[in-house]
Amino acid sequence: MMWLGPSARGRDNNFNLIRMAAATAVLVSHAWPIVYGPGTVEPLEGETGHSLGTFAVYIFFALSGFFISASFAGSNSVAKFLLARGLRLFPGLAASLVLVALIMGPLVSDLPVTSYLAHRETWTFLLRNLTLWHAQFTLPGVFESNPYPAVEGSIWTLIQEVLCYALVFLAGVTGLLRRRAWMSAALVAYFVLWLAQATFPIALHPKLVQLHELSLPFVLGMTFWLWRDRIPLTWIGVALLAVLAFATAATPVGFPVMVLSLTYATFWLGLVPGGGLRRYNQLGDYSYGMYVYAFPLQGLLVFVLGPITPWAHIALAVPLTLILAVLSWRFVEAPALALRRKADAASAPHVSLPDGTEGTKIRRTVFPGATD
């Protein structure tokens, strides 16, 4: 029988492919509202109550909960953990925001270029979105005649991701991640509070409402990491949880059971199927670039081409966004991650090697596949 813990070590898995599929699913899901306007229900949402993009975001958060927990546990300092998170998140985001605001924006804005560049909202777009606080989704004069008059639409999840990182940080610095019993008690308390809010909701700030929803798959990912050596990965488990999710869909526990089923299936797909699927790892991790570039490029397609069907829109948007994602990985994200590795090597203690030369000893993360 395959167990989650031993199987998740290393990089020989399908998680890069899953992240890429999830990022593409977000693009596909957004095609309907971008083409037809806000509030348009895409096909899967009409059948399940959840859009394809929503399912994809749950997958992202579940994987992050697992691998970010592994990353903290494998870090030999809090500073290195924070540096790793920052270098993974912000360089790619900054490059995309600059491209959208300072290259695409002046070309398509209804305002003259000088007026656009002098407009306060051009610069608050960069500042607010880069700091992830109070995201701004529009630019002056850009896409205002589009059915969906926004430039950004996906990056709102990034602040939620950072807030979830804070859960791992708090658990790590307090020592809970090293104490399974105490961490389990904290997780039980979280799930009780989550169910209480879901059953007897109190008024919360919209960002906290979003956090309540998205923290569930993230914390389930943390739970899977904590109990990784006790979780078997079987197709029977996938099937039973899927049946349970279907049976409880109309009950108060329907949502958490669905997220649990999706999380388990994600780890099964990430670790069990092998063969040719693993060749995808020879490529880069293009999922983040796919995620941050898709929405503005999709808006640009509507601006340039006018009315178009969602499927035709998807057929054009996927390859064009992929090109930007590949460039982002090659020239922004991968070099940023290389800086982290150089910092690790520079700070690693020197040791004497068997041949008498000097080398460095670098503590590796328990799960080297944690690149989120």
59 or 370, which is more confident: 59
Q: Is the pLDDT of residue 370 over 70?
A: no
Q: What is the DSSP letter of 99?
A: I
**Minimum mean pLDDT range among 9-23, 120-134, 322-336, 357-371:** 357-371
Cβ count near 27 (within 10 Å): 26
Region 180-207: mean pLDDT is 95
Please identify which residue in the block is written with the tokens 């995309």: 96
C-alpha 357/C-alpha 305 separation (Å) is 63
In which band, very low, low, confident or very high, does the pLDDT at 348 lie, cut at 50, 70 and 90?
A: low
Parse the chain into domains and list their residue ranges. Answer: 4-352
Q: What is the pTM of this model?
A: 0.91
pLDDT > 70 fraction of the chain, expressed in percent and rounded: 92
User: What pLDDT, on a 0 to 100 scale, did the predictor assign at position 367?
Assistant: 43
C-alpha 358/C-alpha 352 separation (Å) is 5
343 or 111, which is more confident: 111
C-alpha 261/C-alpha 249 separation (Å) is 12
- Mean of the per-residue pLDDT values of the chain: 91
Please identify which residue in the block is written with the tokens 């996938």: 238
Which of 306, 344, 358 shows the shortest CA–CA distance to 145? 306
Region 323-336: mean pLDDT is 97
Q: Is the pLDDT of residue 196 over 90?
A: yes
Q: What is the DSSP letter of 252?
A: T
- Provide the 3-class DSSP secondary structure of residue 350: strand
pLDDT in tens, 118-167: 999 999 999 999 999 889 999 999 999 999 999 999 999 999 999 999 99
Q: Is the pLDDT of residue 248 over 50?
A: yes
Q: Is the pLDDT of residue 371 over 50?
A: no
- Provide the 3-class DSSP secondary structure of residue 111: coil
